[in-house]
Amino acid sequence: MTDKPIAIAGDHAGYPLKAIIGEELGAMGYEVLDLGTHVATTSVDYPDYGAAMAAAIKDGRCEKGILICGTGIGISIAANRHPGVRAALCHDETSARLSREHNDANVLALGARVIGEVVAIDCLKAFLTTEFGAGRHVKRVEKLG
């Protein structure tokens, strides 16, 4: 477990799942840094929340984060435009585990309209409990910048 909080952020489509993920993080003993959105009824732009996550990682408020939008695609693209972010869009426990083990992903992206609550929590747990495998993967991750 990290000493720093786990950041969560998402757009209006991701809001309900973001609330569930936030509760699960708290139950797992993590401090949560909620970067918004804080309402599901107002349409917001997912790139703003990808940028907020990148800023939180860059300035050291967190080392890992969870991003959620309708599909997870847009918000992961938005976050990955920023140096230091390795956001992995995951749809199952295996992809979440391998995103950490092989790619040293520091942000888990989820699609609220694509996966259910149980799968999302499975992804979360795999993401947070898997260490980077290092070894042959180091040079590849370094090439990501």
Exactly one of 82, 91, 102, 137 is catalytic; which is it?
102
62, 4 Cβ separation under 8 angstroms:
yes
Exactly one of 69, 90, 91, 123 is catalytic; which is it?
69
Strand partners, 34: 8
Comparing CA positions, the residue from 140, 106, 131 lying closest to residue 7 is 106
**Distance (Å, whole) CA 90 – CA 100:** 11
**Distance (Å, whole) CA 58 – CA 11:** 21
**Distance (Å, whole) CA 87 – CA 50:** 9
> Quick one: tokens of 23?
């509760």
69 in catalytic set: yes
62 in catalytic set: no
102, 130 Cβ separation under 8 angstroms:
no
* Catalytic positions: 69, 102
